């Protein structure tokens, strides 16, 4: 029996903004698609997906637009109804289009208000007949030539359909999709595509101000402060860099956020935060920077949780957390990653992992990147080499995603709406940014 993995892959518009995620599945039938509704393997795969979504859809897939390919079995099980209409795009492929019963279900879901997309659209009568009833056209960049893609997009736009070019794994395919006026793009290259570089003061504003309030309390909660700093790559980097500077002349360098907080002390931590608030009061995090802040947060949690299952790892959970957190640092701070890692006391194993993907830490980091890219074969190979049970990876991934989404929502909501009211004495202690 093959391993089962479920992962989200971002879909971005021409400006680089994420418009939604495709939910990709790998298991007995290799994908959501290729289902004729008859084989025992198809039934088993449908059951696996259905059971997983039943447990997870309300937790981690709400609040974003999820593009998901549904087989005949999943349509018959009424699986789309696990999602709110505004959260789901029902994708169908040829196996569903040629199945009369499946199309009956698709049409019913469309009447109920669900959005519909067609995978690997072709200039064939059965596809053209669907145009009136669909919302998205998906075109595979690897199987359709440039002229075909151009014609499909022109026809789609003439009928007010949004066109997504998929399977983009290179700059060449990315630029081609842009030149052909695709509405959105998806693929390994798109997921990693850098939309913008920020600067060293790009942090999550509402999280920062919430942190300011947390450290001014009479008895600050160190775990709460650690969590807030640990959710932000720029703050984590700045704190570790400062604490390990010559000013403090430490005999042993602080290598985790908790150690840095305890070394600095809450008094000096307050001063550092006040200084940031005064010098960076007008800075805003743009959407591109926010994307990398959130990605670093997800990687940090995923690395930290996975290291607990891996064998013979030379780093702790806290160090694995920093490895994931600092993986996007060169996108947030306009400098080479190699130079940035010299400024903070991460271990040699972590540096080698982030820069060259070598050693067991490099294997763990590559496993996280392979999962993001839905590289199923590489995921299985790396998990085996690390001694991580592959059946655990998807569960860990979605638990991390749920935790990250929950905390991110708290951190990025306007902080005044989330905090308890301060009395006049407390309010006087909070500096005005």
- For 396, other C-beta atoms within 10 Å of its C-beta total 18
CA distance 187 to 387: 28
Which residue numbers in the chain have pLDDT < 70?
1-3, 27-63, 193-209, 216, 246-251, 274-290, 334, 410-433
In this prediction, residue 422 carries a pLDDT of 37
- For 134, other C-beta atoms within 10 Å of its C-beta total 24
CA distance 209 to 433: 9
Q: Which position has the token pair 């806290």?
A: 318
- For 423, other C-beta atoms within 10 Å of its C-beta total 8
Q: How far is CA 311 from the centre of its chain?
A: 26
Token pair of 208 as six digits:
């920062």
C-alpha to C-alpha distances, 149 to 89, 143, 192, nearest whole angstrom: 21, 10, 23
Rounded to 5 degrees, φ, ψ at 100 are -55, -40
CA distance 294 to 232: 8
CA distance 297 to 313: 21
In this prediction, residue 312 carries a pLDDT of 94
The CA-CA-CA angle for residues 247, 248, 252, to 5°, reads 135
CA distance 245 to 242: 5
In this prediction, residue 273 carries a pLDDT of 74
What's the longest Cα–Cα distance across the chain? 74
In this prediction, residue 204 carries a pLDDT of 57
Here the contacts of 74-81 (C-beta below 8 Å, separation 24 or greater) are 74/32, 74/35, 74/46, 74/49, 74/50, 75/102, 75/105, 75/106, 75/109, 76/37, 76/101, 76/105, 77/46, 77/50, 79/49, 79/50, 79/53, 80/109, 80/114
The CA-CA-CA angle for residues 67, 69, 74, to 5°, reads 120
Instruction: Name every residue whose Cβ is closer than 8 Å to that of residue 400 and which is 6 or more positions away in sequence.
Output: 298, 301, 302, 305
pTM for this model (two decimals):
0.71
Helix (H, G, I), strand (E, B) or coil at 13: strand
Rounded to 5 degrees, φ, ψ at 164 are -115, 125
CB 69 within 8 A of CB 106: no
In this prediction, residue 45 carries a pLDDT of 54
In this prediction, residue 395 carries a pLDDT of 86
* pLDDT, tens only, 198-215: 444 455 556 666 777 787
Token pair of 85 as six digits:
């209409």
Per 3-state DSSP, the chain is made up of helix, strand and coil in percentages (nearest 5) of 55, 10, 35
Token pair of 112 as six digits:
């109920």
* pLDDT, tens only, 268-289: 787 777 666 555 544 455 555 6
């Amino acid at each position: 029996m093959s391993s089962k993995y479920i992962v989200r892959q971002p879909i971005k518009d021409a400006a680089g903004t994420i418009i939604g995620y495709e939910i990709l599945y790998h298991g007995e039938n290799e994908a959501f698609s290729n289902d004729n509704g008859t084989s025992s393997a198809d039934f088993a795969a449908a059951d696996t997906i259905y059971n997983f979504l039943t447990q997870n859809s309300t937790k981690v897939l709400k609040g974003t637009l999820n593009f998901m390919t549904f087989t005949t079995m999943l349509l018959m099980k009424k699986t789309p109804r696990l999602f709110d209409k505004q959260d789901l795009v029902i994708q169908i492929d040829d196996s569903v289009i040629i199945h009369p019963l499946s199309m009956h279900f698709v049409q019913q879901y469309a009447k109920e208000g669900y959005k519909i997309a067609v995978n690997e659209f072709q200039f064939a009568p059965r596809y053209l007949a669907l145009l009136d009833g669909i919302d998205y056209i998906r075109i595979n960049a690897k199987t359709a030539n440039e002229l075909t893609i151009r014609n499909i997009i022109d026809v789609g736009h003439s009928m007010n359909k949004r066109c997504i070019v998929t399977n983009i794994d290179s700059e060449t395919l990315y630029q081609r999709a842009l030149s052909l006026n695709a509405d959105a793009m998806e693929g390994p290259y798109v997921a990693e595509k850098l939309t913008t570089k920020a600067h060293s003061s790009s942090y999550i504003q509402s999280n920062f101000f919430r942190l300011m309030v947390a450290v001014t309390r009479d008895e600050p909660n160190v775990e709460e402060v650690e969590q807030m700093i640990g959710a932000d790559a720029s703050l984590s980097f700045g704190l570790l860099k400062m604490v390990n500077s010559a000013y403090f002349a430490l005999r042993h360098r602080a290598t985790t956020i908790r150690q840095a907080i305890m070394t600095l002390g809450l008094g000096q931590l307050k001063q550092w935060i006040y200084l940031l608030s005064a010098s960076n009061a007008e800075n805003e995090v743009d959407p591109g920077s926010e994307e990398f802040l959130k990605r670093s947060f997800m990687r940090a949690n995923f690395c930290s949780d996975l290291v607990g299952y891996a064998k013979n790892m030379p780093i702790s959970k806290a160090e694995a957390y920093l490895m994931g957190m600092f993986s996007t640092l060169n996108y947030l701070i306009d400098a080479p990653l190699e130079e940035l890692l010299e400024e903070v006391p991460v271990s040699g194993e972590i540096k080698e992992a982030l820069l060259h993907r070598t050693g067991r830490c490099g294997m763990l980091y590559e496993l996280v990147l392979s999962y993001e890219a839905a590289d199923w074969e590489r995921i299985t190979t790396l998990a085996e080499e690390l001694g991580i049970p592959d059946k655990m990876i998807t569960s860990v991934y979605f638990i991390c995603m749920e935790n990250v989404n929950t905390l991110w929502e708290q951190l990025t909501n306007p902080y005044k709406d989330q905090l308890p009211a301060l009395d006049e004495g407390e309010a006087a202690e909070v500096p005005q940014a």
